[in-house]
């Protein structure tokens, strides 16, 4: 090859690379949370309102209701559907993201997939499709989660590798989430049973006030239910909350996981059935399609901790995302933290020097009141934060965070589009 030809070829390659870099630069997008819908959460078990309702029907109903809010959004514009479930079997199996998309009436051209990161399933579904939107691979996507803990109790059908215990990779308590909560009490004796009960009662009361003032409710879709004994019904409200609960009543409950322990049914999230779904889009595409932007994703992180104290997971996950976003906890004006156990929330608050009754934290109550249908809860947190943002233009940034079974945590930082400086 002549010198002139080599120079010409090198210049062409450089031009190609420049064009490629420019295309990538144009493709990077801000990601917005458009809207979210959830079913009422029902008590898991044979007496719960969803006892004879299929799990996939719960998430299908959520998706259909969400899309019905935006009739002008061409369904072909949805690039993917990610649906999380912790127990991916039976009516929560068969690549539920794809089957739910089809059954929700989306065109056959819209693909879907299933996600599992235990309690952070829906949160992971959101961050996965958000990453694809940010990279320019998608414009609009759906993320959802469902858990029917009555049909599929946590751990049902699993076969943990015996090496996990035999080779002492983890303590046996790591496989029982309630025991990991007791381990947190052991590690942090300042987090007493009394503190946990006080926090749990406050969560119930905050949730009750939020229902009364309309902060909780607009995100709900009704769900048709069936019972061989009672016939058909309609689920319109969450089944678990007890807004009149007091700490004195909780103090009388027996420990659930250890004799003389501190973790009870009252200061833990109850076993629950339910689903939640949300719509995400590139910010410029949302504007083009006339879709609202309830909040903008700033960043996210997942982190691992010792499985025996999985409740500490939100701490390193939050530290990681704040560091990457160049923010501090003082910049966060609202925090939605999943209340798997009161002790886990209190450990997070103590780490950051936040008071147990700080109004920034779960202003509408949390999972101790409404329940924790595992893989669905991440989107419920996001819906709650988006609702709070709309009424709090003084808050610039918010956080959704949760602990995750087998020793993980997940955190997402969001920006409030309604924010303006005082």
Mean pLDDT of the chain: 93
Strand segments, DSSP code E, in 9-71 are: 31-38, 42-43
Q: Where are the domains of the chain?
A: 29-152+162-412
pLDDT tens sequence across 154-164:
888 888 888 88
Is the domain 29-152+162-412 a CATH 3.40.47.10 member? yes
Q: Which of 148, 152, 185, 372 is catalytic?
A: 372
Task: State the pairing for strand pair 272-282/31-38.
Answer: antiparallel
Closest residue by Cα to residue 121 from 323, 279, 282, 302: 302
Q: Are 273 and 148 in contact (CB under 8 A)?
A: yes
Lowest mean pLDDT, pick from 22-31, 55-64, 169-178, 194-203: 22-31
Q: What is the pLDDT of residue 28?
A: 65
Q: Are 119 and 338 in contact (CB under 8 A)?
A: yes
Contacts by residues 316-320 (CB-CB < 8 Å, ≥ 24 positions apart): 316/409, 317/401, 317/408, 317/409, 317/410, 317/411, 318/348, 318/399, 318/401, 318/409, 318/411, 320/411
Q: Which of 152, 185, 278, 403 is catalytic?
A: 403
| pTM for the whole structure | 0.92
Q: Is the pLDDT of residue 4 over 70?
A: no
185 catalytic per annotation: no
To the nearest 10 degrees (0 to 180), the angle between helices 377-391 and 121-134 is: 70
Closest residue by Cα to residue 379 from 132, 122, 183: 122
Q: Which of 119, 152, 185, 278 is catalytic?
A: 119
278 catalytic per annotation: no
Closest residue by Cα to residue 401 from 321, 342, 314, 327: 314
Q: Is the pLDDT of residue 325 over 70?
A: yes
pLDDT tens sequence across 184-242:
999 999 999 999 999 999 999 999 999 999 999 999 999 999 888 888 999 999 999 99
Closest residue by Cα to residue 177 from 359, 365, 338, 388: 338
Q: Is the pLDDT of residue 344 over 90?
A: yes
Q: What is the pLDDT of residue 29?
A: 81
């Amino acid at each position: 090859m002549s010198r002139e030809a080599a120079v010409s070829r090198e210049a062409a390659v450089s031009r190609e690379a420049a064009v490629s870099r420019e295309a990538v630069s144009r493709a990077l997008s801000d990601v917005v949370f458009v809207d979210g819908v959830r079913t009422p959460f029902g008590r898991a078990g044979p007496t719960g309102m969803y006892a004879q309702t299929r799990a996939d029907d719960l998430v299908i109903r959520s998706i259909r209701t969400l899309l019905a809010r935006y009739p002008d959004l061409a369904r072909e514009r949805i690039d993917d559907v990610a649906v999380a479930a912790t127990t991916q079997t039976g009516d929560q199996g068969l690549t539920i993201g794809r089957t739910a998309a089809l059954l929700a009436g989306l065109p056959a051209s819209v693909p879907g997939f299933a996600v599992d990161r235990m309690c952070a399933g829906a949160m992971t579904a959101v961050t996965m499709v958000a990453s694809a939107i940010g990279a320019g691979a998608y414009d609009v996507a759906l993320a959802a989660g469902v858990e029917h803990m009555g049909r599929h109790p946590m751990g049902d059908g699993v076969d943990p590798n015996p090496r996990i215990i035999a080779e002492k990779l983890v303590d046996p308590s790591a496989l029982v989430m309630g025991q990991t909560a007791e381990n947190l009490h052991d590690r942090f004796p300042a987090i007493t049973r009394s503190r946990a009960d006080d926090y749990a009662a406050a969560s119930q009361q905050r949730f009750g006030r939020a229902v009364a003032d309309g902060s909780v409710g607009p995100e709900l879709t009704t769900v048709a239910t069936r019972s061989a004994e009672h016939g058909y019904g309609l689920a319109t409200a969450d089944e678990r909350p007890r807004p009149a609960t007091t700490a004195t009543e909780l103090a009388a409950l027996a420990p659930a996981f250890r004799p003389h322990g501190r973790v009870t049914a009252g200061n833990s999230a109850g076993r629950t059935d339910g689903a939640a779904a949300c719509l995400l889009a590139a910010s410029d595409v949302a504007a083009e399609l006339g879709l609202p932007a309830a909040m903008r994703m700033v960043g996210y992180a997942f982190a691992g901790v010792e499985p025996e104290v999985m409740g500490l997971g939100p701490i390193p996950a939050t530290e990681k995302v704040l560091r990457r976003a160049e923010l501090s906890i003082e910049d966060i004006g609202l925090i939605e933290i999943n209340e798997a156990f009161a002790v886990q929330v209190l450990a997070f608050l103590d780490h950051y020097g936040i008071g147990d009754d700080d109004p920034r934290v779960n202003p509408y109550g949390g999972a101790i009141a409404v329940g924790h249908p595992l893989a669905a809860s991440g989107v419920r947190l996001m819906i709650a934060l988006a609702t709070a943002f709309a009424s709090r233009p003084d808050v610039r940034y918010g956080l959704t965070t949760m602990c995750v079974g087998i020793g993980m945590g997940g955190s997402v930082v969001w920006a409030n589009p309604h924010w303006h400086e005082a």
